[in-house]
């Protein structure tokens, strides 16, 4: 009896008093976020009543709320109990300034869209100011759908970087190389000089990762492709490129290079663990082995591939070969037309299922992974972002579960993939800084961006003789 009492006393001390007394004063940190924490870590840990502690721009601890509350004191609490807390979504491929061309001319072939509408529209309208307003509008739209990091390819990318930084978003931002005069740089030498300065300017920035972005093998010569790769490697920057995105690209490569787009890029020394390849639709088994060996990241864009009838990327096979496959919106003009990554999560699963005629082809857990940790791997940023784990950047989102489409919830991954909407995202933090709180944007003047988009609608239409 005596023994039992002392054992009880030890238990009481350990459970109730030790956390309060034994560990001394609480550690201080900046913010604690409480809620159902879906970490997306290696074992897919979920804390039903969990918490994330943030200090500076990083995550200090993740775990059960009671444990965390006993250890840390913070100046700010975000009480998201009854809601989901997730790592921010990663949009692995887009062209954000093109928001201002949204819906300009749809339901035409890619070739017609590019040559009859977009290239003339870009030549007449794209300047630094256009790019800034397009990026602001896109930042508002992306934050609202829970995107915290995006990879972009466009012109005047330094202006995209400045606006992205102001919006507090994380970006892998690629200045586009193309073998004809672009809206910003009229020659390859000018593109190289601009991009070298761009890489130097943003080197070491916590939010902005500057990159060269050779557009594709069908718009860039071998020399352009190799020059951009060399420039990227000089500055340890990533390389963003469209790869095997249409049947014509494969056919032309077989004819002109005697091999597939992936094998051609490998032969000329472009592929490596710093390459982010958008699309990867027309790839065979050998291509997949090469992509895996070279540790190239791929980005799947289901809306774009369907809207342009480009084809169906063999996502199941590519992932099975050991290649990291993230998700992207592409577009937003002509090939989507929005920046809603939650839609891509849903469509990635459904497109794989219908193309394989099997509901087992790609499941909810996998596609939520592609939008988070696997997307981070595809951008070669998995040490920094993609999951809620100690030491990673504090990029997290809170999703409400209070709307009719959110209840009941039997499986959290299925809910995220198939039932929840971008409009359910209510709070977004990037690098420890709140950029949206309870649906209110804090870093972008959304009203001004919307008003400006309406002005551009008139001037762009007029420039093409449409109105």
Distance CA 438, CA 420 (A): 16
* Shortest spacing between CB 325 and Zn ion, in angstroms: 16
Q: How far apart are the first and last CA of the chain?
A: 92
* Shortest spacing between CB 71 and Zn ion, in angstroms: 45
Asked if residues 85 and 33 have their Cβ atoms less than 8 Å apart, the reply is yes
Q: In the complex with Zn ion, which residue's Cβ is closer, 162 or 330?
A: 330
Q: In the complex with Zn ion, which residue's Cβ is closer, 330 or 424?
A: 330
* Shortest spacing between CB 153 and Zn ion, in angstroms: 6
Please name the residues in contact with 377: beta carbons below 8 A apart, sequence gap of 6 or more: 297, 324, 326, 386
Distance CA 265, CA 216 (A): 10
Sign for the pseudo-dihedral over CA of 367, 368, 372, 373: negative
Please name the residues in contact with 74: beta carbons below 8 A apart, sequence gap of 6 or more: 28, 29, 30, 31, 32, 53, 54
Distance CA 122, CA 136 (A): 18
* Shortest spacing between CB 94 and Zn ion, in angstroms: 7
* Shortest spacing between CB 301 and Zn ion, in angstroms: 7
Q: In the complex with Zn ion, which residue's Cβ is closer, 330 or 338?
A: 330
Residue closest to Zn ion when measured from CB atoms: 330
Q: What is the DSSP letter of 332?
A: S
Distance CA 35, CA 80 (A): 5
Site string for Zn ion, 405-424 (x = CB under 5 A): --------------------
Q: In the complex with Zn ion, which residue's Cβ is closer, 274 or 330?
A: 330
* Shortest spacing between CB 278 and Zn ion, in angstroms: 5
Instruction: Report 417-456 residues binding Zn ion (CB under 5 A).
Output: none
Going by C-alpha positions, the residue among 135, 317, 399, 182 that lies closest to residue 195 is 182
Q: What is the DSSP letter of 268?
A: T
Distance CA 207, CA 326 (A): 19
Number of residues in contact with Zn ion under rule CB under 5 A: 1
The verdict on 227 binding Zn ion (CB under 5 A) reads no
Distance CA 23, CA 52 (A): 20
Q: In the complex with Zn ion, which residue's Cβ is closer, 175 or 330?
A: 330
* Shortest spacing between CB 443 and Zn ion, in angstroms: 26
Backbone angles phi, psi at 268, to 5 degrees: -90, 10
Q: In the complex with Zn ion, which residue's Cβ is closer, 38 or 308?
A: 308
* Shortest spacing between CB 135 and Zn ion, in angstroms: 16
Both tokens of residue 88?
């921010």
Q: In the complex with Zn ion, which residue's Cβ is closer, 31 or 336?
A: 336
Site string for Zn ion, 282-321 (x = CB under 5 A): ----------------------------------------
Q: In the complex with Zn ion, which residue's Cβ is closer, 34 or 336?
A: 336
* Shortest spacing between CB 201 and Zn ion, in angstroms: 24
Going by C-alpha positions, the residue among 363, 250, 313 that lies closest to residue 93 is 313
* Shortest spacing between CB 231 and Zn ion, in angstroms: 21
Q: What is the DSSP letter of 107?
A: S
Q: How many CA atoms lie within 13 A of 273 on its CB side?
A: 7
* Shortest spacing between CB 300 and Zn ion, in angstroms: 12
Distance CA 75, CA 87 (A): 22
3-state secondary structure of 28: strand
Site string for Zn ion, 315-354 (x = CB under 5 A): ---------------x------------------------
Longest Cα pair distance anywhere in the chain, in angstroms? 94
Q: In the complex with Zn ion, which residue's Cβ is closer, 210 or 333?
A: 333
Q: In the complex with Zn ion, which residue's Cβ is closer, 279 or 377?
A: 279
Instruction: Report 138-157 residues binding Zn ion (CB under 5 A).
Output: none
Q: In the complex with Zn ion, which residue's Cβ is closer, 266 or 330?
A: 330
Asked if residues 194 and 175 have their Cβ atoms less than 8 Å apart, the reply is yes
Both tokens of residue 204?
């070491």
Residues that bind Zn ion (CB under 5 A): 330
């Amino acid at each position: 009896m005596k023994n039992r009492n002392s054992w009880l006393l030890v238990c009481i001390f350990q459970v109730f008093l030790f956390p309060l007394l034994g560990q001394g004063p609480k550690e201080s940190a900046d913010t604690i976020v409480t809620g159902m924490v879906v970490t997306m870590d290696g074992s897919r840990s979920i804390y039903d009543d969990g918490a994330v502690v943030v200090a500076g721009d990083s995550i200090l601890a993740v775990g059960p709320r009671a444990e965390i509350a006993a250890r840390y004191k913070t100046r700010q609490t975000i009480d998201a109990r009854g809601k989901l807390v997730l790592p921010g979504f990663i949009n692995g491929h887009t062209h954000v300034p093109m928001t201002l061309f949204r819906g300009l001319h749809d339901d035409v072939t890619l070739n017609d869209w590019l040559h009859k509408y977009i290239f003339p529209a870009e030549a007449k309208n794209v300047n630094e100011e256009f790019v800034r307003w397009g990026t602001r509008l896109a930042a508002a739209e992306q934050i609202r759908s829970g995107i915290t990091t995006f990879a972009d390819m466009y012109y005047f990318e330094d202006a995209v970087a400045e606006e992205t930084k102001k919006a507090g978003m994380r970006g892998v931002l690629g200045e586009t190389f193309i073998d004809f005069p672009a809206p910003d740089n009229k020659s390859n030498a000018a593109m190289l000089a601009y991009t070298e300065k761009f890489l130097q300017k943003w080197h070491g920035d916590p939010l902005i990762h500057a990159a060269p972005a050779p557009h594709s093998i069908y718009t860039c010569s071998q020399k352009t492709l190799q020059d951009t790769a060399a420039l990227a490697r000089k500055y340890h920057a990533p390389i963003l490129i469209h790869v095997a995105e249409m049947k014509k690209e494969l056919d032309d490569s077989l004819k002109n290079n005697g091999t597939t787009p992936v094998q051609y890029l490998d032969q000329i020394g472009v592929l490596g663990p710093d390459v982010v390849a958008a699309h990867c639709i027309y790839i065979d088994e050998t291509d997949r082995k090469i992509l895996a060996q070279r540790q190239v990241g791929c980005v799947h864009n289901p809306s774009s591939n369907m809207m342009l009838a480009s084809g169906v990327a063999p996502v199941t096979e590519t992932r099975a070969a050991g290649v990291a496959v993230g998700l992207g919106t592409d577009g937003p003009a002509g090939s989507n037309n929005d920046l809603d990554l939650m839609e891509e999560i849903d469509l990635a699963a459904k497109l794989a299922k219908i193309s394989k005629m099997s509901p087992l082809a790609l499941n909810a857990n996998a596609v939520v992974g592609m939008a988070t940790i696997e997307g981070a791997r595809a951008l070669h940023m998995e040490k920094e972002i993609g999951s809620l784990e100690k030491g990673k950047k504090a990029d997290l989102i809170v999703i409400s579960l209070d709307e009719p489409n959110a209840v009941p919830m039997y499986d959290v991954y299925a809910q995220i993939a198939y039932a929840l909407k971008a409009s359910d995202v209510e709070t977004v933090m990037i690098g420890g800084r709140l950029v949206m709180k309870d649906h209110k944007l804090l870093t972008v003047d959304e009203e001004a961006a919307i008003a400006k988009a309406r002005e551009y609608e008139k001037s762009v239409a007029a420039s093409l003789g449409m109105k």
